[in-house]
Chains A and B, each alone.
Chain A
Amino acid sequence: MTKGQAISLQKNDGGSLTAVRMGLGWQAAPRRGLFGSRTREIDLDASAVLFADKQPVDVVFFRHLVSDDGSVRHTGDNLVGGVGQGGDDEAILVDLSRVPVHIDQIVFTVNSFTGQTFQEVQNAFCRLVDETNGQELARYTLAGGGAYTAQIMAKVHRTGTGWTMTALGNPANGRTFQDLMPAILPVL
């Protein structure tokens, strides 16, 4: 999947996708110098904002792990990243069949809470996975991605009876999702 590309979350057999996961993984950047092995802690955070007709209704992030309606769940805050094994360090799971009827878009974002830009993070990626079969729908490499501290990753939105996902990958800056609202609104 490339930036701006939209895919319909309909399965080949006609059934529609019911659960997606946004996964985020990273590894702290080693510091050069005398103590080369020392690493600086980097805290990336994944968030999902639920919109009804461009109005933010609910948000799932490290301080509010479950949307009030229970359809979007965050697996919990990871403050230091993983060891770069390729697994998700943070994940947000969306049960599309339980998303309230008035919610028409869900936007996924990634922020660097500790303020490092993506240039300083190693093995950082975020991806979207069809949770029902584990198939990866989209993947971005964040590492070395430029002097940004945030990215508007993707959105899933209602189309007809099902859902469609659009890959965005827009760079932005901010510490938490609140800071990203001005950058999110144009993509709705």
Chain B
Amino acid sequence: MTAELVRGQNHPLSQSRLEIRISAGTPVVAAAALGDESGRIHGTEWVAHPGAPTQPGLEVSRQAAADHRLAVDLDAVTDAVHRVSVLLALPAAEGGPGPARFGSVAAPFVAVTGLDGEEVASYTITGLEAESAVVALELYRRQGAWKVRAVGQGYAGGLAELLTDQSLPEAVQLAGTIGEAVARGLARSVQAPPPRPSDGDRSRQPAAPAVGPDQGGTAPQGTPDPVPPSYGGQPSGGPGQDGPQPAYGAGAADPSTTGGPIDYSHPRRQTSAPPPPPPAAPQPRPGQPAQPVAGDATGWSMEERLYNQVWGMFEDLARTTAAYRSAVDFAESRMDKELEQALSDPRSRLGGQGDAAREAARARHAELVGQARESLDRDLAQLVAEAEVVEPALPPAFARWDNPAWHAYRVPMEIPMALRLGDLRLPEADPLRIPMLLRLPLERGLWIDSGRADSLDGSFTDSHDMRRLAMETAVAHAARLLAVYPAGEFTVHVIDPAGSGAQALAPLTGTGVLAAPPAQGAAGVGDVLGRLTQRVDLVQMALRGGAPDALPPGFDTSQQLLVVNDFPHGFDDRAVNQLRYLADEGPSVGVHLMMVADREESSAYGPLLDPLWRSLLRLTAVPDDHLADPWVGHAWTYEPPVVPPGSQVLHQVLTQVAAARRAWRR
């Protein structure tokens, strides 16, 4: 019989091996801490957390999740332990994304169950407000017997404050370690997908709005304008949760909107008229799959339909591969079990019976894997055919550099909804490349890793080549950003302290698209960082004061990108702090970082820089399998965008951008 506890209530426990189930509507970090008679945590080894998931008698999950099952064995804890506390924290409090206060999410539910699943006691933690960490339950020893008590004590200062309260000497450091471990899990995920369109071709159920993970950046389905209306959202919360923010408009901001409600309609998009119908797919011949058509998805424009279609292909590939991998895993575990049985069966030791049993087990394995491969191949063939029609139809911002769309490039009049940052693929689906489309304006900065890496194909790239490759990749990304924004709405600054990136930067410097020549030396670094920091301050002040039109006349309202080469060479402590400030505060006011750096090289700064790396999306200059999809969490191989060797496309495009900028300034 379940006891539904209220805050402060306790309940006896008859079993010592227990499971604690946690259900929260949003990903939370779960940890468990051991305490002595007076409730003190003696040291970090008394806490099981995502960075150290097992301690004697305790086991917790390695990452933040909406559901957890923690294992507790009260017989396995030492006699000194009199208390086991179950702790929950929001990832945002430890430096991750998502909501920052329990008051804005559903009340977490915690249950203590026996190993048979029988619920002993449960507790719904209600009444939390600004707290970001909470002691949910404690199991405690009273006169030789264990009991559970509903605690529900919250802390606005996160785990650091919580652990300090429990007298842990290294509370702050441990909270940092936990944040780091959680971020390692979260940082792998690609930006949240758009709400899944109910594309009749793909999902056979109508009007079931698939709910995307809540990392923000996507408008609800049916909202005609997918572009976030404001750049003023706080980085901690999702769009729409912060209440109206005055729009910090790029160029066309209407002063009359100051303080008033946001006009969510796109100034250049007609919302009353229905969208043009998507291209009609020809009727399939009987017994054959439908012919794929580019733009075969929902959306108010061809661009949006292609964007949704690409994300649909991404999800389909993730799911069909999940089906295949699950089937292969099952086939293997079944074969292992059958082979083991054949071995342990005494009859099979005689004669050919054992051989026959082993043969049968292998045949069953091969048959199931063959069937799984068959259905994977069928889906892949369909996706490959779809990619073949979609790729050529993509607009420049979504297209590979070798796409003819780039030869027909004209400086755009509107900001595109997304940008292609590279390709994603899975080993089972080698011919298929999914465009990795990220929404614009960027929500976080980019980190192009120049660390030495053994690439996936086994070839070895030395550190000098890696740095050059990383800088070339960064230039290609920067060039693409410059090209897809309307003239004058995107400005690129470069810091190249030692001038080592000069050769890679040639396409940018040669065509004159930079705001100023790359900054060199400590003075140059300080100057650029100082100006951008001041800019962030100024815009933030104007936004907080509710007066975005109070910016100085002639203020450049364009988005700013700072490319930093060779970090940390030439950076003093002050410059490092400014960089961190730009990474944290910049994206919300249109200032973005692109760090070309090797994390190892900056290790001299210690954990000071960890939040910086965490806040940036890591990209590589060589294929690397470090990105995860938001549905199943496969490890996808990221391939950076490559300009075809000998191609002049970058130069031609940037020349046009430079000409348009000159014309626009006149």
Contacts and interface: CB of A to CB of B under 8 A. Distances in A.
Contacts of A73: 203, 205, 208, 210
B372 A101 contact: yes
Nearest to B375: A101
Given A68-B326, A182-B116, A102 B205 contact: no
A100 interface: yes
B119 interface: yes
Interface residues of A, number: 29
A75 B209 CA distance: 7
B30 to A, nearest CB: 15
Contacts of A19: 204-205
Interface stretch (B133-141, B183-191, B316-324): B316-324
A130 interface: no
A182 B295 CA distance: 48
Interface stretch (A6-14, A51-59, A117-125, A135-143): A51-59
Contacts of B119: 175, 179
B346 interface: no
Interface in B292-330: 315-316, 319-320, 322-324, 326-327, 330
Contacts of B327: 52, 100-102
B23 interface: yes
Size class of the contact patch on chain B: 20 to 34
A21 to B, nearest CB: 8
B352 to A, nearest CB: 26
Contacts of B326: 52, 57-58, 68-69, 100, 102
B6 interface: no
A100 B23 CA distance: 28
Contacts of A95: 204-205
A102 B331 contact: yes
A131 interface: yes
Contacts, number: 83
Given A100-B327, A182-B117, A93 B631 contact: no
Nearest to B327: A102
B598 interface: no
Interface in A40-68: 52-53, 55, 57-58, 63, 65-66, 68
A82 interface: no
B204 A93 contact: yes
A76 interface: yes
Contacts of A102: 326-327, 330-331, 368, 372
Contacts of B66: 63
Contact of B211 (A70, A76, A100): A76
A63 B67 contact: yes
The listed residue with most A CB atoms (<10 A of its CB), out of B119, B320, B330, is B330
Contacts of B631: 66, 68
Given A71-B323, A101-B375, A181 B117 contact: yes
Contacts of B331: 102
B116 A101 contact: no
The listed residue with most A CB atoms (<10 A of its CB), out of B210, B323, B331, B375, is B323
A31 B663 CA distance: 74
Given A53-B330, A63-B23, A182-B117, A68 B632 contact: yes
B323 A69 contact: yes
A58 B210 CA distance: 18
A55 to B, nearest CB: 7
A21 B207 CA distance: 14
Contacts of B614: none
A27 to B, nearest CB: 22
Interface string B192-209: 000000000001110011
23 contacts: A19-B205, A21-B205, A52-B327, A53-B330, A58-B326, A63-B23, A66-B631, A68-B323, A68-B326, A68-B632, A69-B320, A70-B322, A73-B210, A93-B205, A95-B205, A100-B323, A101-B368, A102-B368, A175-B119, A178-B117, A179-B117, A182-B116, A182-B117
Given A52-B327, A70-B203, A70-B320, 18 more contacts: A21-B205, A53-B330, A55-B330, A57-B326, A66-B319, A69-B322, A69-B326, A70-B316, A71-B323, A73-B203, A76-B209, A102-B368, A102-B372, A178-B21, A178-B117, A179-B119, A181-B117, A182-B117
Please name the 4 residue pairs, one residue from A and one from B, whose CB atoms are nearest each other, closest first: A69-B323, A70-B319, A100-B323, A68-B322
Interface of A: 19, 21, 52-53, 55, 57-58, 63, 65-66, 68-71, 73, 75-76, 93, 95, 98, 100-102, 131, 175, 178-179, 181-182
